[in-house]
Amino acid sequence: MKFFVDTAEIDAIAELNELGMVDGVTTNPSLILKSGRDILEVTKEICDLIDGPVSAEVVATQADAMIAEGRKLAEIAPNIAVKVPLTWDGLKACKALTGEGRMVNVTLCFSVNQAILAAKAGATFISPFIGRLDDINLDGMELIADIRQVYDNYGFDTQVLAASIRSVNHIAESARIGADVITAPPAVIKAMANHPLTDKGLAAFMADWEKTGQKIL
């Protein structure tokens, strides 16, 4: 499974990248706002830092404008994946941009039907939003499983990118289902290392070591 980091914070990306935990990065207008940086500037800095796909999102709502913005974003670096919303205009933009050989991440997917359309339009990635479905009492993980099954049924090349991840359980379930990629905030990825029994065991080891009176260095 590939790990994409859902942030525009350079320091957080760099820390995870040093450990080999970054296969790509996803950004969106909200994350750009949070970073307080210029979209072109911060996206270029991220692309220089990592080799994998970096999703940069268009903000237009009409197909022609989306395509123009997508081309502008794609000029930043070869590893840009243009992010478009799963609307009819977004699908038109996806078809045009993938036809030009660009990576496209179709985002805000909430149904299998939408995912099928994105794959037919040539999307590189489809981003189903787990957490936002959970927020309205629907099963976000069920959507990941359904898209995985349909894509496998027909041999679609579009990669399933599990998004809107809120917990480490979302990551584990996505891995079990067979999502190609997850994108999660840095704090959630780092939380995967946590377990109360690890903490308890380490505390016991340290207490016993203290009793030996020894030192390694």
- In angstroms, the CA 13 to CA 49 distance is 8
What is the DSSP secondary-structure string of 39-51? HHHHHHHHHHH-S
DSSP code of 192?
T
- In angstroms, the CA 123 to CA 156 distance is 10
Q: What is the distance in angstroms between the CA of the first residue and the CA of the last residue of the chain?
A: 38
Of 83, 120, 211, 215, which one is the catalytic site residue? 83
DSSP code of 196?
H
Residues in the chain: 217
Cβ atoms of 67 and 95 closer than 8 Å:
no
Cβ atoms of 62 and 88 closer than 8 Å:
no
Tokens of 205: 């080891």
Q: Is 120 a catalytic residue?
A: no
Q: Is 198 exposed, middle or buried (0-12, 13-18, 19+ CB in 10 A)?
A: exposed
> What residues act catalytically?
83
